[in-house]
A and B are shown apart, each in its own frame.
Chain A
Amino acid sequence: MEALLAAGATVAAVTEQGQLDEQTWVERAQRADTTAFEALYRMHVDKVYGLCLRMTGNTAEAEDCTQEAFIQAWSKLSKFRGDSAFSTWIHRIAVNTVLGRMRKSRREQDRVQAVTDISPAPVTTGDSGNLEDLQQAVDGLPDGARHVFVLHAVYGYSHDETGNMLGIATGTSKAQLHRAKRLLAQQLKQNGYES
């Protein structure tokens, strides 16, 4: 919030009212007001970054993905009609961004510095102890399984919604979740967790 206060008078409109003011910011941002967009950014960046981080398992990737998602959101703002929550909308964009970057990195592994599959920097998410073990195990899942696990088990999207966001069938989402759970169980048992 400090950064917002520094940004100027328009920021004074941000109150505890949350939802209502978000709509104001969205409308202003849609009219190309970058300060308003910054307000939206501050409101949603933690969740978007969290999503990118869990889906990519890699800090540098997650930072790039977050920036790209907001940039994309800016360019698509006119298409946001407010029928879903802004956070859901931008999550979708974040998921598409992750998937798009993965497709690109598969094709361009040697060339591009920004998009690589190098061994990830250790991820700090603020989870403690056992949860950190779980986080690391999730990071180690194969892509498809990890994406579904993150969206469904961590973020609580239904299989329909998950399938929709990832461009896969609902059934495939269920299959991937099953696979994720099986692999996580194996990994965690190796770490000493009892079944």
Chain B
Amino acid sequence: MNENQSFDDRLMEAAGSLETEVTPERDLWPEIQSVIATPSRSRRNTLFAQAAAIVLLVGASSGITYLAMNKQMQYVTPPPPNGLNVEHASFGDNYMLGPEYQDARNGLKAQFDEGLESMTPRERADVLKNLEAIRSVIEEINRALANDPENALLQELLLSTYQEELSLMMKIDNVANAMNRTDF
């Protein structure tokens, strides 16, 4: 290196020669593959559904939601054993949202309720009204799917609407967090 270069220049030159490509110590592909691969027949549809759920995850503010849904990516076929209480059950007969989804939603619920508490009655009523609107859409689509289980559009819209529900709950979670942080 040129003796006349300033420290700054030498620093930048060194930075530019740092390795930009680093091989990971272990093969990371198998785990990626298990998330994106799907056993089902209607590949494009479930792929989209899985992909959409993943996208939701990355925006999640709840660690529980993230982990739970990350493991959740394989659809459960056939339907889960008896005794499992799964609300808003299905994408049609061959697809079930697994128990971890319910855990995730339950995990969000506590902070969601806390968030609601910190709102005015009017704000709270507004949120609950919107949640109700989302839930009635979920019911409507599930009914339609019961008659037409392979309908890709219905599956996509159903998944989106589940995301809307979680997304709304997370937004209220964030309100709870923000209120706590601004230490009023």
Contacts and interface: CB of A to CB of B under 8 A. Distances in A.
Contact of A100 (B36, B51, B58, B63): B58
Contact of B61 (A3, A107, A135): A107
A79 B64 CA distance: 28
Interface of B: 7-8, 11-12, 14-29, 31-33, 35-37, 43-44, 47, 50-52, 54-55, 58-64, 66-67, 177
Q: Which of B25, B26, B29, B59 has the most CB of A within 10 A?
A: B29
A63 B28 contact: yes
Contact of A104 (B15, B18, B20, B66): B66
A74 B55 CA distance: 10
Given A114-B63, A114-B66, 11 more contacts: A32-B47, A45-B28, A47-B20, A49-B24, A59-B25, A76-B51, A76-B55, A125-B18, A153-B15, A154-B15, A193-B7
A41 B29 CA distance: 8
A67 interface: yes
A67 B28 contact: yes
Q: Which of A59, A75, A107, A115 has the most CB of B within 10 A?
A: A75
A67 B33 CA distance: 10
Interface in A89-121: 97, 100, 104, 107-108, 111-115
A25 interface: no
Interface string A156-195: 1000000000000000000000000100110010000111
Those 8 A-B pairs whose CB atoms lie nearest each other, nearest first: A112-B63, A75-B51, A153-B15, A108-B63, A50-B22, A46-B21, A195-B7, A111-B63
A51 B22 CA distance: 8
Contact of A112 (B23, B50, B67): B67
Nearest to B14: A134
Interface of A: 3, 32, 34, 37-38, 41-42, 45-47, 49-51, 53-54, 59, 62-63, 66-68, 70-72, 74-76, 97, 100, 104, 107-108, 111-115, 124-127, 130-131, 134-135, 138, 149, 153-156, 181, 184-185, 188, 193-195
A74 B26 CA distance: 21
Contacts of A153: 12, 15-16
Interface majority SS (helix, strand, loop, mixed), chain A: helix
Contacts of B26: 63
A135 B63 contact: no
A41 B32 contact: yes
A149 B14 CA distance: 12
A32 B152 CA distance: 15
A68 B47 CA distance: 16
Contacts of A67: 28, 31-32, 35
A74 B20 contact: no
B48 to A, nearest CB: 8
